[in-house]
Amino acid sequence: MKVCIVIPTYNERKNILKLIPEINEIFNVNNIDGQILIIDDNSPDGTWDLAKKYEKENYCKLLRRKSKQGLGTAYKQGFMYALKNGYDVIFEMDADYSHDPNYIPQMLSKINEGYDMVVGSRLEDGGKRVEYPLHRTVVSNVANEIIKLFLHIPERDVTTGYRAFRKEVLEKIDVKTLESKGFEFQLETLFKANIKGFKITHIPIIFRQRVYGNSKMSINEVIRFLKLAVKLKFKYEIPLRKGRL
């Protein structure tokens, strides 16, 4: 299988300095036919310039955008690139080491078992958050409870951004038509994969707070997330339901 790891960046110079070579080492050790795709929103800290040296080593591809345009649009562009270039499995992950790249082989093994999508979950048994700010924990927990109530998504960790997709999932949900511009992209893709009937599983992950840089989460992102939940509920005429499926 050809594998593409899509990583949006904005001021992640210190993180990708270590992350890109580490992912490549995981590719080599596990005999993975993989490529890293960095989508940089013209980071003022020089992330792009640093990443360019890895592009010359043929395991990293770079797409540069003129300005900061949102996480969702970056993933959308990255997924479309991966589909166009014949990748079989497409990952999304953060650049800040909150998503440990050592989970990549485990997630691929689930794909090999026949699953269409694998979610790296902080909330399943064995998963947890480490040094995560209390206010973000509260926001994440509330968002996940709302999604269970509104949209009947069975996965507990709807807001996680560490995932692997078979290309068929992204083709069927029609990536180019996705509307999300920010973090709500996680909800839209997971919801539509469920609606289409794809086989989805999870692995527990240890989610660590970033070491370098600042979080991109804002109150506006939370508002957009909740608005999308309401929109999907009424668009697909989903009744309220209490508890987990």
Provide the residue type at 117 as one letter.
Answer: M
Q: Does residue 243 lie within any of the structural domains?
A: no
Q: Does residue 242 lie within any of the structural domains?
A: no
Q: Does residue 215 lie within any of the structural domains?
A: yes
Return d(Cα 90, Cα 34) in angstroms, integer: 10
Quote the domain boundaries for residue 129: 2-235
Return d(Cα 190, Cα 194) in angstroms, integer: 6
Q: Does residue 244 lie within any of the structural domains?
A: no
Return d(Cα 61, Cα 173) in angstroms, integer: 25
Q: Does residue 231 lie within any of the structural domains?
A: yes
Q: Tally the domains of the chain.
A: 1
Nearest partner of 229 among 171, 144, 135, judged by Cα: 144
With 0-12 CB in 10 A as exposed, 13-18 as middle and 19+ as buried, what is 202? Answer: buried
Q: Does residue 100 lie within any of the structural domains?
A: yes
**What CATH number should be reported for the domain holding residue 41?**
3.90.550.10
pLDDT in tens, the chain (245 residues): 999 999 999 999 999 999 999 999 999 999 999 999 999 999 999 999 988 888 877 789 999 999 999 899 999 999 999 999 999 999 999 999 999 999 999 999 999 999 999 999 998 889 988 866 676 777 777 777 878 778 888 888 988 999 999 999 999 999 999 989 888 999 999 999 999 999 999 999 999 876 655 655 567 777 888 889 889 988 887 765 543 33
Q: Does residue 245 lie within any of the structural domains?
A: no
The predicted model scores a pTM of 0.90
Q: Does residue 230 lie within any of the structural domains?
A: yes
Provide the residue type at 59 as one letter.
Answer: Y
